[in-house]
Amino acid sequence: MSKKLTKVEESIREESDKINTVKKIILSRSLAVEKPTPEPDELSTENWKEKRFESPNNIIRLGTVFSGIGAIEHAFQRLKLKHKIVFAGDIDPNCKKSYFANYDISEEDWFSDVREFDATKYRGKVDFIVGGAPCQAFSMVGKRLGFEDARGTLFYEFARVIKDTEPKVFLFENVKGLLNHDNGRTWCVIHDIFEELGYDVHYRVLNSKDYGIPQNRERLFCLGFKNKTEFKFPAPIELEYRMYDFLEDYVDTKYFLREKGIKFVTSHKNKEKCYTQVNGDIALCQKRNQQFNWHGDFVYHPVAADEPFEVGFDEFIFNVKDVEEKYYLSEKVAKYVLAGGTKSFHTSKKTDLDVARPLLQTMHKMHRAGVDNYVTYKGRIRKLTPRECLRLMGFKDSFKIVVSDTSYVSGSGK
């Protein structure tokens, strides 16, 4: 009996005549690459925050591909730039639901599958096209199958939309791992295709934390101009805020972790490998459905002395910045250590002493509480909420959340 494929495996192995044709074209081009990888562009030395738009009254006609929940569209709103959304699309129905709740677009200008999107009708009707083909095929945390992964061939669809619409400017965004994939050949192919379409191409890897958002998110940004353009990417600015500044004041208890989740999040292995972080100043790179997995950022809330504690909540929670999971008392050991005694032997069960008992060389053996020192540092660890994730992706609170938490997609959907 054949094993049923997961959704990820299906998306990787997806086949069609069109996908197979694209794979062959790109493979032949990759094998033919001989020149070195083009150098990234320089950074500007000017303070871009002091610059003003030359033509603020002009209406920018915007088209987006792999639109997610509309990161660039929201940026236009934040900048108060006059614009009109000409077309947008995403294969995720929840993205569509969020998009239509937040932006002005007609049903006929939305597409679900970019491979079936006829962009020729928009030729000459769009100024700026933005998109980032799915990055899993090139990401360092994925299988890195590149163009062998069906999702990797979606870049070709982005290039096709550029060719069919001929915008004045395009922005292609992806993971920085795209640059070194297949020893740089993959990026050479993409860069060459953009140039063959007649564009002046500029690219560089930028990090969100260098541009005002406390999230460590490195992404490749590639700009193409229809006309030769003197362009430099903006210089980094000093980070004025920390992740804690983006947190909500009141959070539903459903976001708090129980003992199993806490031990995973605070484990030495996961913190050392930067899978998890608690109360960090700069957020780790966000992932889809960040708040519903155990990889990412978490917040530690101490509990005030007079605060009523949730019934049945695990009290054996240490200061997570300093303590590894091996120092927690398991349920089995806790019953022994915190027991008052057996038969004729009795001992104190007091913990959290003002004055510590004598420290023993053998305290790692976990004696009874009356012999060693134990603390019940009451506090709770929670995941980030959808609103906090949005804030850390540059979305203001004016962005409407209209889908359930379990279907929520952070940022632009990538």
Whole-number average pLDDT of the chain: 75
Region 338-353: mean pLDDT is 52
- Average pLDDT estimate for 169-187: 85
Are the C-beta atoms of residues 328 and 389 closer than 8 Å to each other? no
| pLDDT score of 199 | 95
- Banded model confidence at residue 27, pLDDT cuts 50, 70, 90: low
Which amino acid, 48? W
Active site residue 274: no
What distance in Å separates the CA atoms of residue 78 and residue 277, rounded to the nearest whole number? 29
What integer pLDDT is reported at residue 293 of this predicted model? 65
Q: What average pLDDT does this structure show over 194-212? A: 93
What is the pLDDT at residue 260?
75
Confidence check: pLDDT of 53 > 90: no
Write down all domains in the chain, each with its CATH number in brackets. Answer: 7-239 (3.40.50.150), 243-329+374-382 (no CATH)
| Residue 301 CA, distance from chain mean position | 23
- The pLDDT value given to residue 384: 86
Q: What is the mean pLDDT of residues 167-175?
A: 94
The span from the CA of 338 to the CA of 348, in Å, is 8
Minimum mean pLDDT range among 56-60, 170-174, 297-301, 335-339: 335-339
Residue with tokens 């493979």: 27
pLDDT of residue 308: 57
The residue-averaged pLDDT of 389-413 equals 78
Question: Among residues 237, 372, 262, which one has the least CA distance to residue 316?
Answer: 262
Q: Which residues of 223-250 are buried (b: 16+ CB within 10 A; e: fewer)?
A: bbbbeeeeeebbeeeeeeeebeebbeee
Taking only the tens place, the pLDDT of each residue in 292-320 is 566 788 888 776 555 555 544 444 444 44
Residue among 295, 272, 261, 298 nearest 141 (CA): 295
Q: Is the pLDDT of residue 137 over 50?
A: no
The sign of the dihedral angle between the CA atoms of 110, 405, 80, 206 is negative
Question: What pLDDT does residue 353 have?
Answer: 44
- Percent over 70 (pLDDT), the chain: 64
Question: 66-75, 189-198, 373-382 — which one is most confidently predicted on average?
Answer: 66-75
What SS3 string covers the chain? CCCCCCHHHHHHHCCCHHHHHHHHHHHHHHHHCCCCCCCCCCECCCCHHHCCCCCCCCCEEEEEECCCCCHHHHHHHHCCCCEEEEEEECCCHHHHHHHHHHCCCCHHHEECCHHHCCCHHHCCCCCEEEECCCCCCCCCCCCCCHHHCHHHHHHHHHHHHHHHHCCCEEEEEEECHHHHHHHHHHHHHHHHHHHHCCCEEEEEEEEHHHCCCCECCEEEEEEEECCCCCCCECCCCCCCCCHHHHCCCCCCHHHECCHHHHHHHCCHHHHHCCCEEECCCCECCCCCCHHHCCCEEEEEEECCCCCCCCCCCCCCCCCCCCCCHHHCCCHHHHHHHCCCEECCEECCCCCCCCCCCCCCCCHHHCCCCCCCCCCCCCEEEEECCHHHHHHCCCCCCCCCCCCCHHHCCCCCCC
> Is residue 370 very low, low, confident or very high in pLDDT (cuts 50, 70, 90)?
very low
User: Is 211 or 25 the better-scoring residue by pLDDT?
Assistant: 211
β-strand partners of 89: 111
Per-residue pLDDT, 352: 44
Q: Determine the pLDDT at residue 20.
A: 59
State yes or no: pLDDT of 225 exceeds 60.
yes
135, 188, 222, 389: the active-site residue: 135
Asked if the model's pLDDT at residue 140 lies above 50, the reply is: no
CB distance 369 to 337 below 8 Å: yes
**Is residue 141's pLDDT more than 60?**
no
Question: To the nearest 10°, the Cα dihedral for 344, 345, 349, 353?
Answer: 130
Contacts of residue 349, Cβ cutoff 8 Å, sequence gap at least 6: 338, 339, 340, 369, 370
At 175 the pLDDT is 84
The torsion of the CA quartet 72, 240, 295, 4, rounded to 10 degrees, works out to 10
- pLDDT at residue 77, as a whole number: 95
Q: Is the predicted pLDDT of residue 28 greater than 70, yes or no?
A: no
The pLDDT tens digits for 60-114 are 999 999 999 999 999 999 999 999 999 999 988 999 999 999 999 999 999 998 8
pLDDT-derived band at 277, boundaries 50, 70, 90 = confident
Which two structure tokens, joined as six digits, stand for 376? 């019940």
> Does residue 169 carry a pLDDT above 90?
yes
The whole-model pTM stands at: 0.76
Angle, in degrees to the nearest 10, between helices 71-78 and 93-102: 10
Rounded to whole angstroms, the maximal C-alpha distance in the chain is: 91
